Every structure is written in structure tokens, then in C-alpha cells.
Structure 1
Amino acid sequence: MDLVIFDLDGTLINSEAILLRSQVETFARHGLVHPGREAGLGIVGLTLNIALMQLAGLDEPDEALTETYREVFGAMRRQAESDPTLAEPLFPGVADMLAELARQPGLRLGIATGKSRRGVEYIVERFGWQDLFQTVQSADDAPSKPHPGMILRAMAQTGAAPERTAMVGDSSFDIEMAVAAGVMPIAVSWGFQPPASLVALGARHVLTDCRDLPGLLGLPAVAGSV
């Protein structure tokens, strides 16, 4: 394997609390009823304006709704500095797994996320990942998942072939994107969507422990991860 691409929310980062609370507050400000946790997590991974459009049951993106969400999310992220319930921690074992993968000669790592470029930069800086990922694809770089554009751009930037590339994610959008790009789709069990549904869409493996990923890629197992 030459390139492993990761989704962020629900795959590397547990952002459930801040995402759902931002959605609920945004909907309340627009007089809308939030459809609940399952629906709220089910659109995570899409580009923001499309995600909110689907969540609200609209026929087209609503820029006012999108802008309100940006304002609410920004305020909650600032609030998270003093409110641990809004924290966005890494899932257990992720830090060790990424560190081990980064030590593998010739292996390149990437990100493909529905977050904006600014949102990705915040996460990268927060966790000190500036030198970890060789390619980063955001909502500002390519069409929304499940369009394969993010993966195609990542492969073009790194010179990786589809048969030597894997996409690791927790949503239907990640798996469908991987299938469309012709790369290996790998699902995680700890994310925002049921693993069984991801297998039905084409996921070849379901990770239940970060320590399993290096083995799937033919690399040494991560020592000491949770």
C-alpha cells in the first residue's frame, strides 16, 4: 500500500457532541425542528451546505442556514475551551496508529473530509499534524463526497495508483467515494454510521481496533495502542 486516506469526523476525531449541538441550535434559530441524532450524524461527511440541505429536507442549499451554522459552530468551538462536553478528542488508539503509519517507509497519508480548508487547518494545527499528511482534501478542493474527486486529487498529488490506495472512513459517503475511485474501502466500527450498512455499500473490511489497520495494509502491527 502506498497511500492511506482518512476521513476526519467519526473516523479520527469524535466530534459528535459539537456537531449535533451546533445543528440543533442552528435549526432552532431558523424555526426548524431538528430530526434527531441518527439523522444528524447521518449527514456528517457531506459538504456543509449540502449536509444542512438534506438534514432540513430542502430542495436546494440555503445560504442563510449555512451561515448560521458556521457562526454557531465557531462560537461552540470557542466555548469548548472551557466546556469539555464540546471537546473533539481523537478516538482511542488513533494517535499511536498514525505515528506508526508515519514511520513506514514509502507510505503516504492523506485526509479527505467534508470540512472546509479552514476547518481542516484548525484540526491539523491542534493535533500537531503539520508534517504527518502528504495530501489534504477538503470541501474547498473538490465536489462533495461521495464524488470521487477528493481521492482522485490525492492520488494525483502523491502519484499513488488506485490499487495501492485505501480510504478509511465511517460513513456511506466515504465508502461510496472509495468504490467510485477504485480504491480499497475500509470502514471503522466506532463512527457515526452502522458498520453493516457500510459493508453493504462495498467496504472490504471493518476495523474494530486501530491496531488492526497496519495488518490489513501488510505492515507491522501498532504496539501499545488502545
Structure 2
Amino acid sequence: MSSSDLTIACQGLKFNKIAAIIFDKDGTLENSLPFWREVAIQRARLIDAQIPGVGEPLLMAFGIQDNAIDTAGLMAVGSRQENEIAAAAYIAETGRSWHEARKIARQAFDEISQSKYLIKNPESAPLFPEVIETLQSFKSEGLKLGILSADSTQGVEEFVTNHKLQDYIQLSMGVDGKLLKPDPQLYIQACQALKVAPEQTLMVGDSWGDIQMAKAAKAAGTIAVIRHQGSVSLPGDVTIFSLSEIQILSDSN
């Protein structure tokens, strides 16, 4: 059986003729929300030190409330570019010019990303427990595996390297230009890089943007992952709580 003939089953639903699975990264493969919560807090504190009073509204904009991160909020699902623009908008409301607001936000974001006290690595943002075994199983059956994240491509590549996933992941793709999730062109580009048609792929993600992007690109199916208590429901074809729920059916099935 070739990879393009594989049938994937999940929660009683079957997806036929699947050649590839494309994953989101943060919240799907990597338990990174606690790390990003801390990043958001430090960004807001740094900007508030320059512009007193803006810190609290910034935290709310980032999706941080009562020291918890909203799994559907800007920090959890948005790109750095989207978060930076949101921060600049709040800064501009204090009377700064848009140019100055963008500069202040960018410098604060850069300073936090370069901090030696806040480093994203396998300790601060570990893989979810079942990820390695699941990827091994998929790769052994001939599935092509890719990552399409709202992070930068460099961030995705560092994630793959840090977690030693090079043997499993054939595409490490982030958001570097004007295209942002849920633009279906991102998904189409990922499929082109993997040399598969969207209709031969499944999207596995934990955000509305992941699901809507794949649906608009005519993916064979969408699998929504719920990792955290209180997460909002997503319009995936099926919802799971662990990647181990995704099964490849053999000929006998």
C-alpha cells in the first residue's frame, strides 16, 4: 500500500487516500502555552515601564487574564507580527505616532526574544507525551509529515532541531511574509512543498485559523486538537485530545 492509498481513522470517521499530514506546532505538538504566557507578561511589563498604564490593556489584548492565557487569544494563535501590531495600536492610543509606536513595540519584542532568562527549549516548551511515538508510526507507514505554524520559519526549524524531529518532519514552514493564517494560500504552498495535493492531506491543529485555512484550501479533512481545559470548541471534522487517537488502518481493517 502506497502512502497515497492510506486510510486514516479518527473517532469513527475515515479519511481515504491520504498522503500527508500537516501539523500546527504550538499547542498541537508542543506544550508551549505556559512559555508564551510568560513572554506576553514580560512584553507588557517592558512596554509599561516606558509608557505607564498601557501594560494591563496590553495583557488583555494578548489574551492574558488572571495570569492565564486564552487558548483562542492573540498570543496563543497569532503570529509575532500580529501581536506586535496589536501592541503598537495600544501604544499609539497614548498619543505616539504610528511610526514611534511600531518602533517601541518592535524594540520591546526584540529585547524579550533575546533575553537569556526566557529561552524556548525542550524544557520550557516540551513536546506532548505521545508526539514522538505518533510521528514514528506515521513516518513508518510512508506518510509525509509537515509543520505549518504561525511562528516564523526559523522558529519552526529551531523547534524541529531542538526536539530532534528531523527524521520525521519533511516540511518546516512558518509565516514570514504577508500571508497569515487562515489564508488558504499558506496551506496550498505547504502542500506544494510536500508535493501532494491538498485533497490528499489532513490538517491537525488547535486553533480556528488552522481549521478554516485547511477547509478553504480543500484539504481532505481537519482534525481539531483540544489540549487544555476550557479550550473553545473548533469546527474540525473531528475533535481529539491526543494525537494517539489518529490511527492508520491496515488492509484488514
TM range (shorter): 0.7 to 0.9
- For the aligned residue pairs, the C-alpha RMSD in angstroms reads 2.9
Match of 1:204? 237
Match runs of 1:11-50 below 5 Å? 11-31=28-48, 32-33=55-56, 34-35=59-60, 36=64, 37-39=68-70, 42-43=73-74, 44-50=76-82
Match of 1:91? 128
Using the TM superposition, give the Cα deviation of residue 140 of structure 1 relative to its aligned residue in structure 2, in angstroms: 1.7
How many percent identity over aligned positions?
A: 26
Using the TM superposition, give the Cα deviation of residue 40 of structure 1 relative to its aligned residue in structure 2, in angstroms: 7.2
Change (3 A) 1:115 1:101: same
Match of 2:185? 149
Change (3 A) 1:122 1:77: farther
Higher strand share: 2
Superposed CA deviations along residues 26-80 of structure 1, whole A, max 9, x for unmatched, are: 1111122111234475122322121343477659893532442233133266556
Q: Which runs of 5+ in 2 are unaligned?
A: 1-17, 49-54, 93-97
Q: Are 1:140 and 2:166 matched, yes or no?
A: no
Change (3 A) 1:76 1:179: farther
30-39 or 147-156, larger mean C-alpha shift: 30-39
**What amino acid is aligned across from residue 16 of structure 1 in structure 2?**
L
CA distance in 2, matches of 1:110, 1:192: 27
Match of 1:187? 224
CA distance in 1, matches of 2:84, 2:71: 9
Q: TM-score, normalised by structure 1?
A: 0.80
Match of 1:71? 111
Match of 2:85? 53
Select 2:26's aligned residue among 1, 5, 9: 9
Match of 2:102? 62
Q: Are 1:125 and 2:161 matched, yes or no?
A: yes
Using the TM superposition, give the Cα deviation of residue 117 of structure 1 relative to its aligned residue in structure 2, in angstroms: 2.1
Q: Is the 8 A contact 1:185 1:204 kept in 2?
A: yes
Q: TM-score, normalised by structure 2?
A: 0.73
Using the TM superposition, give the Cα deviation of residue 194 of structure 1 relative to its aligned residue in structure 2, in angstroms: 2.4
Q: Which runs of 5+ in 1 are unaligned?
A: 221-226
60-69 or 155-164, larger mean C-alpha shift: 60-69
Q: Which has the larger radius of gyration?
A: 2
CA distance in 2, matches of 1:164, 1:45: 25
Q: Is the 8 A contact 2:160 2:169 kept in 1?
A: no
Aligned length: 210
Match of 1:102? 139
CA distance in 1, matches of 2:230, 2:156: 21
Secondary structure, counterpart of 1:13 in structure 2: coil
Using the TM superposition, give the Cα deviation of residue 96 of structure 1 relative to its aligned residue in structure 2, in angstroms: 0.7
